[in-house]
Chain A
Amino acid sequence: MSPKTLYDKIWDAHVAHEADDGTCLLYIDRHLVHEVTSPQAFEGLRMAGRPVRAPEKTIAVPDHNVPTTADRVNGIENPESRIQVEALDKNAKDFGIHYYPVNDVRQGIVHIVGPEQGWTLPGMTVVCGDSHTATHGAFGALAHGIGTSEVEHVLATQTLIQKKSKNMKVEITGKLQPGVTAKDITLAVIGETGTAGGTGYVIEYCGEAIRDLSMEGRMTVCNMAIEGGARAGLIAPDETTFEYVKGRPHAPKGAQWEAALTWWKTLFTDEDAHFDKVITLRGEDIAPVVTWGTSPEDVLPITATVPQPEDFEGGKVEAARRSIEYMGLEAGQKLSDVEIDTVFIGSCTNGRIEDLRAAAEILKGKKIKDGMRAMVVPGSGLVRAQAEEEGLAEIFKEAGFEWRLAGCSMCLAMNPDQLQPGERCAATSNRNFEGRQGRGGRTHLLSPAMAAAAAITGRLTDVRELM
């Protein structure tokens, strides 16, 4: 048998039908659903009189629209947001799918809830009407975002019409330097490949620096695979993975656990398997990074300066000029001189317990700069509870951070957590697009520790100075 990549193995285990031209029906093991990209899909099912084929494999949770202030227990004020969340309440009930409503302690960002509850397991196919579904690839699951028509397709048939992507290997060798995190790895990779560099590929991340990461860190890395254009990001499961999964509410138990483990241990790339593209970075070379522009590929070490548009080639010259103008920066300006007024810690990229620990470590015993608006939005109600138990919430509050309830919040600003025009935010989220965090708002992406450092000094800051 010819050697296979991890992606090949998971793909092969899920092909329900293959047409002569290579178009496949790929069986989906887990379908995650949220309130923004699903109402039209459920409406489509109703109009065609179709049921959900596998409600037991379908999990819904509202996250994009939900307010994160304590008063949300009294209902959602914005009428449009309320309608979307109520539609999900009703659709979950009518179609009999698993559901974590807004006021359930297990509610949170769909990509944090799935792994936390043990819905996401190695070797699975996982989809969701959300591009950051790539997160689940951290478990060695083939996970990717889909559009609403495909959400309807999966609800109706539990399959997707797919053609296989190409294989890409991203290897991070060696050890990371102090102050460098999973977020810096994933941003550095996008800086290297560009936002279209992964288009047409599924990425497998490997190497010592990846192996050394916790599951939380691996989820951060895979989460942003989509920002590099890849369909999905994967990391082969190992003891770290099994340890995380074991005992979760929906993880297999007893004899089933043993059977699962036996299969999971076969999920790795065979020696000599073929990759269509290979990128290698040395872990030691990765510095704490920030973004300066309006594309996630606009990444530089915090010690660098804003580039000159002329440093680029082709269409990127104009794009860089536009970005620098939108961001209110000047070419040649030191990134560590850029003053910020808002800090956002949270999102499916960096809203897990380890992220909050890293930020709290920097903030302990310190205060945020006067006038700074800083908020922590835990990724789920359970992350929030754990952070309170560990005393992290107190550290954030004493430093001057707002301590919020779980949701997507200011990552995409569909709820009331938004930037005003011209405001500048150090954000642990995943996109720095124009207007992403609010019309006219300016976003610098960075790690939770870097965000904490920026909150203290009031400017983009090399976290190593505060360690």
Chain B
Amino acid sequence: MEKFDKVHGVAAPMPLINIDTDMIIPKVHLKTIKRSGLGVVLFDEMRYHDHGGENEDFVLNKPAYRQTEILVAGDNFGCGSSREHAPWAIKDFGIKVVISTSFADIFFNNCFKNGILPIVVEEEHHAILMDDAHKGENARMTVHLEDQQITTSDGVVIEFDIDPHRKHCLLNGLDDIGLTMEKDHHIDKFEDHASQARPWV
């Protein structure tokens, strides 16, 4: 996985709460057997008209936000289906950071597996970041993972928390499966014990 360091880019505002993974990528695009190429259908039903053609009112279709790398979203972002196609589409579009007051559990996990940084901030900070994101492409936000800081276009610094293990994996681009396989002897030992304790499993 690519190493995650710092992002300095356009932040787009999506204040709507409860944006679910069906909205992020509708099921018609889940029939793929690949992970790539889903950026073009990110937010498909909001982004395109029923008859085709872009909906110019949708934030990511506006000229200022076409190069968005940071999404500032409403509460409970990514709820619903476990589909990892949602973070795949977000990543493929070029978005590397999503900021909200809360995320749904499975989506939150899926982000880290794909080199996307989901950041949870307090409501008061969220409001500042949402305002900044509304300023358009000249107002670039900076997210620095090592320092755990977000800097707005006018220099306001907001600190954020992240699980140390996840931070380490993102910074170093580490693959979870490889890391777990290094603990193979623990899994062997557990299986030996469990097959005695619960042989019916």
Among the stretches A22-30, A370-378, A381-389, A449-457, the one at the interface with B is: A22-30
Among the stretches A66-74, A99-107, A275-283, A316-324, the one at the interface with B is: A316-324
A412 touching B27, Cβ below 8 Å: yes
Among the stretches B58-66, B108-116, B135-143, the one at the interface with A is: B108-116
- Answer whether A196 and B79 are a contact pair too, CB < 8 Å, given A152-B177, A322-B16: yes
List B residues 62-84 near A (Cβ within 8 Å).
Answer: 74-76, 79-84
> Using Cβ atoms and an 8 Å threshold, which residues of chain B touch A252?
200
> Using Cβ atoms and an 8 Å threshold, which residues of chain A touch B84?
37, 40, 129, 147-149
Q: Of the candidates A146, A153, A259, A315, which one forms a contact with B82 in the assembled complex, judged by CB atoms under 8 Å apart?
A: A146
List B residues 1-32 near A (Cβ within 8 Å).
Answer: 15-18, 20, 22-23, 26-28, 30-32
List A residues 192-234 near B (Cβ within 8 Å).
Answer: 195-196, 199-200, 226, 229-231
B105 touching A29, Cβ below 8 Å: no
Task: Report 22 cross-chain contacts, Cβ distance below 8 Å, ordered by A residue.
Answer: A16-B186, A27-B191, A43-B33, A147-B82, A147-B109, A150-B113, A153-B176, A157-B180, A157-B181, A161-B165, A161-B179, A195-B79, A226-B106, A229-B104, A230-B105, A256-B199, A256-B200, A260-B200, A315-B15, A315-B17, A319-B17, A434-B45
Tell me the complex Cα distance, A123–B80, Å. Answer: 26
- Answer whether A25 and B187 are a contact pair too, CB < 8 Å, given A156-B181, A157-B181, A195-B79: yes
From B31, B35, B50, B179, name the one whose CB has the most chain A CB atoms within 10 angstroms.
Answer: B31
How far, in Å, is B137 (CB) from chain A's closest CB? 24
How far, in Å, is B1 (CB) from chain A's closest CB? 10
> Using Cβ atoms and an 8 Å threshold, which residues of chain A touch B15?
315, 318
Judge whether A358 is part of the interface by a CB distance below 8 angstroms. no
> Using Cβ atoms and an 8 Å threshold, which residues of chain A touch B20?
295, 431, 433
B201 touching A37, Cβ below 8 Å: no
A149 touching B113, Cβ below 8 Å: yes
Judge whether A428 is part of the interface by a CB distance below 8 angstroms. no
A414 touching B50, Cβ below 8 Å: no
- Answer whether A27 and B187 are a contact pair too, CB < 8 Å, given A156-B181, A256-B199, A319-B17: yes
Tell me the complex Cα distance, A229–B35, Å. Answer: 26
> Using Cβ atoms and an 8 Å threshold, which residues of chain A touch B104?
196, 199, 229
Interface residues of B (CB under 8 A from A): 15-18, 20, 22-23, 26-28, 30-35, 45, 50, 74-76, 79-84, 87, 102-106, 109-110, 113-114, 163-165, 176-177, 179-181, 183-184, 186-187, 189-191, 194, 197-201
Smallest CB-CB separation from B165: which chain A residue?
A: A23
- Answer whether A431 and B80 are a contact pair too, CB < 8 Å, given A121-B201, A195-B18, A319-B17: yes
Tell me the complex Cα distance, A155–B76, Å. Answer: 29
> Using Cβ atoms and an 8 Å threshold, which residues of chain A touch B179?
161
Tell me the complex Cα distance, A50–B184, Å. Answer: 13
Tell me the complex Cα distance, A439–B165, Å. Answer: 40
Tell me the complex Cα distance, A29–B83, Å. Answer: 22
Tell me the complex Cα distance, A65–B27, Å. Answer: 10
Judge whether A130 is part of the interface by a CB distance below 8 angstroms. yes
> Using Cβ atoms and an 8 Å threshold, which residues of chain B touch A435?
22-23, 26, 45
Tell me the complex Cα distance, A130–B28, Å. Answer: 16
Tell me the complex Cα distance, A157–B106, Å. Answer: 19
> A-B pairs with the 10 shortest C-beta distances?
A252-B200, A149-B113, A80-B31, A16-B190, A39-B33, A147-B110, A147-B84, A315-B17, A145-B82, A196-B76
How far, in Å, is B79 (CB) from chain A's closest CB? 6
How far, in Å, is B114 (CB) from chain A's closest CB? 7
How far, in Å, is B122 (CB) from chain A's closest CB? 14
A81 touching B81, Cβ below 8 Å: no
> Using Cβ atoms and an 8 Å threshold, which residues of chain B touch A459?
none
Smallest CB-CB separation from A17: which chain B residue?
A: B186
How far, in Å, is B6 (CB) from chain A's closest CB? 24
Smallest CB-CB separation from A29: which chain B residue?
A: B201
Q: Of the candidates B18, B114, B165, B194, which one forms a contact with A19 in the assembled complex, judged by CB atoms under 8 Å apart?
A: B165
How far, in Å, is A2 (CB) from chain B's closest CB? 21
From B109, B189, B199, name the one whose CB has the most chain A CB atoms within 10 angstroms.
Answer: B109
A21 touching B16, Cβ below 8 Å: no
Smallest CB-CB separation from B103: which chain A residue?
A: A199
> Using Cβ atoms and an 8 Å threshold, which residues of chain A touch B35?
40, 148
Q: Of the candidates A21, A157, A231, which one forms a contact with B165 in the assembled complex, judged by CB atoms under 8 Å apart?
A: A21
Tell me the complex Cα distance, A241–B14, Å. Answer: 45
